[in-house]
């Protein structure tokens, strides 16, 4: 022991006076090895510690502290107690001694043998005797480390200090500047908050002392020696500030203030912090600040977005514009503000840009703004927000319309629509200029997308500003349409083509602009003149062009506002004129066959039907009744008195069998159908019995398809509306008897005609749920086994389930019960299955086709519920060699596959087995449809389809090289999805 004490003294001497730092290690080793104890060391230090020289005392304490740093784990509780008392005492000593004292205390905070109460006493001394921020960097770090150590092990004791602990900490860190120390300090603050230390009355102080660093502005020194990033500091501080709702009342005003900062990163930090605290805080914490936050955010968003709108390469222009437009929609006032702020710069941008893609983008932005201004306008509006920019906007639009870039032109048309829809914004002169531009484009622009946009634009503008269209556009279009493309024989095919295309555009434009009665008065005569010129040959129009003229008339009939005036126009002008022209053509066709007016063409007549039926369906009852009686007397009695250009021969008998089986008159029965089958049900059709009997006769005897089919449809259309009762029943029974006798006679030459009448009557009865319908169904089913008519019967099921535009639909006032398809399906599907099972092999395809025709037309919901029962049959249908059956079955499977019922999933194997061979079908449509189905299979539950992945991928490799592009692209889509199955990042 004596020898050791000599050694000890010499170590102390060499360290303190000799300034040999390495002796500290030796001393520590001595303690560890048990050569002497720490208290013996303190004893040996006696002289140094009592020296009058502060540096000597400091050196003495330093030796002790360094030894403790090594040996704190080996101290007894008693030793610790003594040492703490010693150190606490030393804290009051000269300031040069403080650093080693703190080192020693820090070492002691790590002792597991820290006696109860010592943590508190240590901290009290610390807070009382040390002004932390006067210390050097490392000593300050030392203090923070002590706090952290003690918080880890002595939480309960520290909490016993109450709010004093928080206050002591706040004082200690107040003014801290070093980022390394800040990280430590933030950690302590976070602990205080998270672990529920009592903040007492120091909540605001704790907030102040930390929030003064917000937002963090720190750039690490070059080479980043400490590895501390700005982001770390931001995250730590954010953790503190957003850690407790108690800070809400201080933090939210701070955020509102900082949102206005000019430093983008500060703004961003504020927003992120806001996000973080919003997710922490409850509504009550936020409530009182919402308004302020909203104001700041809104201003922030607007300014920022406006800035983006002007960026040189239009980065972020879309998102910014969307935000601003949303703001526009908020209120009328908002739209004023935003428009005033944004429009000038957009206009200027547009005018200074030369690249079409930029201009187009800007124009689209403009359009959205104009639109959002519109939606925010109150209905009774004073001056439009956009008035100030009218001139500039118009000139932009007109200049864009004059560009050769089609996207730009298209965008300009939609801006024009939006501008025109701003009440009172555009002047008449603007509209006239616009009409000039539109006219020019209609006449010259070959790009389909542009002309479609122009037509749409003309339609929209004409609805609001009809005058200019009546005075300028219609006369001009008429003039151009009626110009001959020079002598036909000598013109180049391309010129002919472009002349035809121009007429096509004009015809659809005439329809588009005809929404107001005043325009219709001007446009329909032009269209009718196309028909009559075509008939007389005054100006030659192709069949295609005549059909388009009819379509335009039809569109007008459908869209025109329903007024007395327009009803009269159709009733007394258009319908008689159409009938007259058709009749003239028919009579001429009979007298001089071969010369051929286009108006005898089936395509033209079929296009006239919906013009008549749409207009008749909308006629007022008196006009409707008059139209019905005129039509009936024309067709039954040859009464031509109401027709214009009346130079017709007497004794016209349109429904009677014609000489030499001529059909040019008989086919006009389709126009009769247009007149009498679309009238409101309240309108009584005169001479109905005779009419029906002549129609029946024609449909069962005529050999001309359009004639007998139209007669059958007309018959069916009337039957559908005939009042319930014995006379209807006997009519049906009589007709069925005749039909059946033809059908049952294998040698009959009119079996097809009889079948056609039957299927249309069946359709008429099915729609109204007539009880006699079943008689017809039975006959239809029996025909599936018919050698000749079997396939036609199967297709008949498609007719039963489909809607038609010219007859037997709701807009023709037909009696259509809801869910007639489902009803038919549920009453007959079992019969079909039975029939299939009983049929001979060569007839089975008829049943499959019939079934797929029905299922195909069912609403998806019904398909999904009904499919399980029929699945095996449908799967069977996929193997049927008939391509029509395959296609129909595939098209009814596909929608069901997208959201497959369990029954289907169970049949996956069979589905895959049957679909894969169809990928190689000779029919392109079957290949496409089967690929779509296989694509849909990829959305089945993954575990179900995964076993098929390799097989399907292999099968899908082949159609990637299909000769048809459409097939290839389906294969690509399907294969892409199947690849993603079971693959990471896929499905």
Q: How many CB atoms lie within 10 A of CB 769?
A: 13
Q: Which residue, 31 or 971, has its beta carbon nearer to another protein?
A: 971
Structure tokens at 623: 């006009």
Burial, 587: exposed, middle or buried (Cβ in 10 Å; 0-12, 13-18, 19+)? middle
| Least Å from the CB of residue 944 to another protein | 20
Nearer to another protein, 23 or 935 (CB): 935
- Least distance in Å: CB of 667 to another protein? 29
Is residue 128 within 8 A of residue 86, CB to CB? The reply is no
* Separation of alpha carbons 639 and 655, rounded Å: 13
Least distance from another protein to the Cβ atom of residue 912, Å: 15
CA distances from 489 to 485, 516, 545, 776 (A): 10, 40, 19, 55
In the complex, least distance from residue 362 CB atom to another protein, rounded to whole angstroms:
13
Q: Measured from the CB of residue 856, what is the shortest distance to another protein in angstroms?
A: 21
Angle, nearest 10°, between helix axes 924-937 and 949-957? 150
Q: How far is the CB of 783 from another protein (least distance, A)?
A: 31
Q: How far apart are CA 396 and CA 360, in angstroms?
A: 11
Which of 313/726 has CB closer to another protein? 313
Which C-beta is closer to another protein: that of 623 or that of 928?
928
- What are the angstrom distances between the C-alpha of 250 and each of 238, 300, 724? 14, 21, 81
Cα separation of 411 and 359, whole Å?
Answer: 10
Rank residues 361 and 889 by Cβ distance to another protein and give the closer one.
361
Considering beta carbons, is residue 268 or 340 the nearer one to another protein? 268
From CA 507, how far away is CA 526, in angstroms rounded?
9
Sign, Cα dihedral of 605, 611, 614, 617: negative
DSSP code at position 426: S
Residue 704 beta carbon to another protein: minimum distance, rounded to whole angstroms: 30
The least CB distance from residue 403 to another protein, in Å, is 15
Sign of CA dihedral 626, 631, 636, 637: positive
Q: How far is the CB of 270 from another protein (least distance, A)?
A: 19
Q: How far is the CB of 367 from another protein (least distance, A)?
A: 15
| 452 vs 688 by CB, closer to another protein | 452
Sign of the alpha-carbon torsion through 767, 771, 773, 777:
positive
**Token pair belonging to 478:** 């008429």
**Nearer to another protein (CB atom), residue 414 or residue 516:** 414
CA 745 to chain centre: 58
102 contacts: CB under 8 Å, gap ≥ 6: 130, 135, 139, 142, 143, 146
Give the interface with another protein as residue ranges (CB under 8 A): 313-316, 318, 357, 360-361, 407, 449, 923-924, 950, 953-954, 957, 960-961, 963-966, 968-969, 972, 975-976, 979-980, 983-986
Contacts 24+ apart (CB under 8 A), 456-460: 456/413, 456/417, 456/512, 457/413, 457/414, 457/416, 457/417, 458/509, 458/512, 458/513, 459/509, 459/512, 459/513, 459/515, 460/417, 460/420, 460/421
Please report how close the Cβ of residue 921 comes to another protein at its closest, in angstroms: 11
Task: Indicate the residue among 128 and 357 with the shorter CB distance to another protein.
Answer: 357
Shorter beta-carbon distance to another protein: residue 264 or 723: 264
- Please say which residue, 30 or 959, places its beta carbon nearer to another protein: 959
The alpha carbon of 173 is separated from its chain's Cα centroid by a whole number of angstroms, namely 54
Q: 361 or 710: whose CB is closer to another protein?
A: 361
For Cα atoms 273, 277, 282, give the angle at the middle one, nearest 5 degrees. 160
Choice between 33 and 961, CB closer to another protein: 961
> Shortest gap between Cβ of 400 and another protein (angstroms)?
15
Q: Supply the minimum distance, in Å, between the C-beta of residue 242 and another protein.
A: 19
CB atoms within 10 A of CB 873: 20
């Amino acid at each position: 022991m004596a020898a050791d004490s000599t050694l000890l003294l010499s170590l102390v001497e060499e360290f303190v006076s000799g300034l040999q730092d390495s002796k500290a290690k030796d001393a520590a080793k001595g303690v560890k090895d048990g050569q002497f104890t720490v208290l013996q060391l303190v004893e040996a230090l006696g002289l140094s510690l009592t020296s009058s020289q502060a540096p000597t005392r400091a050196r003495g304490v330093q030796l002790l502290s360094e030894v403790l740093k090594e040996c704190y784990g080996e101290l007894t509780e008693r030793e610790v107690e003594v040492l703490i008392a010693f150190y606490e005492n030393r804290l009051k000593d000269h300031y040069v001694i403080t650093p080693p004292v703190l080192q020693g205390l820090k070492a002691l905070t790590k002792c597991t043998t820290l006696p109860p109460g010592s943590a508190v006493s240590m901290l009290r001394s610390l807070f009382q005797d040390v002004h932390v921020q006067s210390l050097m960097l490392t000593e300050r770090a030392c203090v923070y480390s002590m706090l952290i150590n003690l918080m880890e092990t002595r939480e309960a004791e520290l909490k016993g200090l109450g709010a004093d602990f928080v206050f002591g900490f706040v004082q200690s860190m107040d003014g801290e500047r070093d980022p390394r120390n800040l990280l430590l300090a933030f950690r302590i603050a976070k602990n205080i908050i998270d672990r529920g230390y009592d903040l007492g009355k120091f909540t605001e102080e704790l907030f102040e002392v930390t929030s003064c660093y917000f937002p963090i502005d720190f750039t690490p020194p070059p080479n980043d020696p400490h590895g501390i990033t700005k982001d770390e500091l931001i995250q730590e501080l954010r953790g503190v500030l957003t850690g407790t709702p108690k800070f809400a009342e201080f933090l939210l005003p701070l955020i509102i203030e900082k949102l206005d900062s000019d430093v983008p990163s500060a703004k961003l930090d504020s927003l992120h912090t806001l996000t973080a605290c919003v997710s922490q805080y409850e509504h009550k914490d936020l409530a009182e600040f919402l308004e302020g936050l909203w104001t700041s955010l809104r201003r922030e968003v607007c300014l920022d977005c406006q800035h983006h709108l002007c960026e040189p390469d239009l980065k972020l222009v879309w998102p910014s514009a969307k935000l601003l437009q949303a703001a526009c929609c908020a209120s009328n006032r908002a739209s004023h503000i935003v428009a005033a702020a944004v429009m000038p710069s957009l206009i200027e941008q547009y005018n200074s840009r030369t690249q079409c893609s930029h201009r187009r983008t800007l124009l689209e932005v403009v359009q959205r703004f104009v639109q959002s201004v519109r939606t925010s306008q109150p209905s009774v509006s004073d001056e439009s927000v956009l008035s100030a920019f009218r001139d500039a906007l118009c000139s932009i639009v007109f200049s864009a319309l004059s560009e050769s870039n089609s996207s730009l032109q298209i965008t300009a048309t939609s801006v024009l629509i939006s501008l025109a829809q701003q009440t009172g914004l555009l002047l008449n002169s603007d509209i006239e200029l616009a009409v000039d531009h539109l006219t020019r484009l209609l006449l010259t622009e070959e790009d389909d997308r542009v002309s479609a946009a122009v037509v749409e634009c003309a339609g929209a503008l004409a609805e609001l500003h009809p005058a200019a269209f009546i005075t300028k556009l219609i006369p001009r279009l008429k003039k151009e349409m009626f110009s001959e493309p020079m002598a036909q024989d000598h013109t180049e095919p391309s010129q002919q083509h472009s002349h035809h295309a121009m007429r096509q555009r004009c015809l659809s434009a005439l329809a588009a602009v005809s929404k107001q009665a005043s325009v219709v008065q001007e446009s329909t005569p032009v269209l009718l003149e196309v028909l009559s010129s075509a008939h007389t040959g005054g100006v030659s129009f192709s069949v295609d062009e005549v059909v388009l003229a009819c379509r335009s008339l039809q569109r007008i009939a459908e869209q025109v506002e329903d007024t007395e005036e327009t009803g009269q126009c159709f009733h007394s002008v258009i319908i008689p004129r159409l009938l007259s022209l058709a009749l003239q053509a028919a009579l001429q066709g009979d007298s001089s066959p071969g010369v051929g007016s286009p108006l005898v063409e089936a395509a033209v007549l079929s296009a006239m039907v919906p013009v008549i039926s749409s207009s008749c369906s909308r006629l007022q009852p008196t006009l409707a009744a008059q139209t019905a009686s005129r039509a009936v007397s024309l067709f039954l009695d040859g009464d031509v008195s109401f027709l214009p250009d009346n130079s017709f021969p007497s004794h016209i008998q349109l429904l009677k069998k014609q000489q030499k089986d001529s059909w040019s008159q008989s086919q006009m029965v389709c126009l009769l159908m247009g007149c009498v089958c679309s009238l409101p049900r309240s309108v009584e059709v005169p001479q109905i019995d005779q009419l029906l009997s002549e129609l029946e006769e024609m449909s069962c005897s005529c050999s001309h398809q359009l004639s007998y089919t139209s007669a059958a449809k007309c018959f069916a259309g009337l039957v559908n509306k005939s009042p319930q009762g014995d006379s209807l029943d006997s009519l049906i029974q009589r007709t069925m008897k005749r039909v059946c006798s033809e059908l049952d006679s294998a040698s009959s030459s009119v079996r097809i005609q009889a079948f056609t009448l039957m299927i249309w009557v069946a359709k008429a009865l099915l729609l109204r749920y007539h009880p006699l319908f079943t008689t017809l169904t039975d006959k239809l089913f029996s025909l599936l086994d018919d050698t000749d008519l079997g396939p036609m019967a199967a297709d008949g099921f498609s007719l039963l389930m489909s809607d038609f535009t010219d007859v037997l639909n709701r807009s023709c006032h037909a009696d259509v019960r809801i869910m007639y398809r489902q009803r038919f399906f549920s009453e007959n599907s079992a019969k079909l299955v039975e029939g299939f099972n009983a049929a001979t092999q060569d007839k089975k395809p008829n049943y499959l086709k019939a079934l797929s025709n029905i299922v195909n037309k069912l609403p998806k919901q019904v398909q999904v519920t009904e499919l399980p029962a029929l699945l095996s049959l449908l799967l069977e249908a996929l193997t049927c060699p008939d391509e029509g059956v395959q296609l129909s079955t595939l098209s009814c499977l596909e929608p069901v596959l997208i959201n497959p019922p369990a029954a289907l999933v169970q049949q996956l194997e069979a589905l895959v087995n049957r679909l894969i061979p169809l990928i190689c079908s000779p029919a392109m449509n079957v290949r496409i449809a089967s690929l779509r189905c296989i694509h849909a299979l990829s959305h089945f539950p993954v575990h179900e389809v995964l076993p098929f992945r390799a097989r399907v991928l292999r099968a899908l490799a082949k159609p990637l090289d299909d000769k048809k592009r459409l097939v290839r692209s389906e294969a690509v889509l399907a294969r892409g999805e199947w690849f993603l199955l079971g693959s990471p990042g896929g499905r």
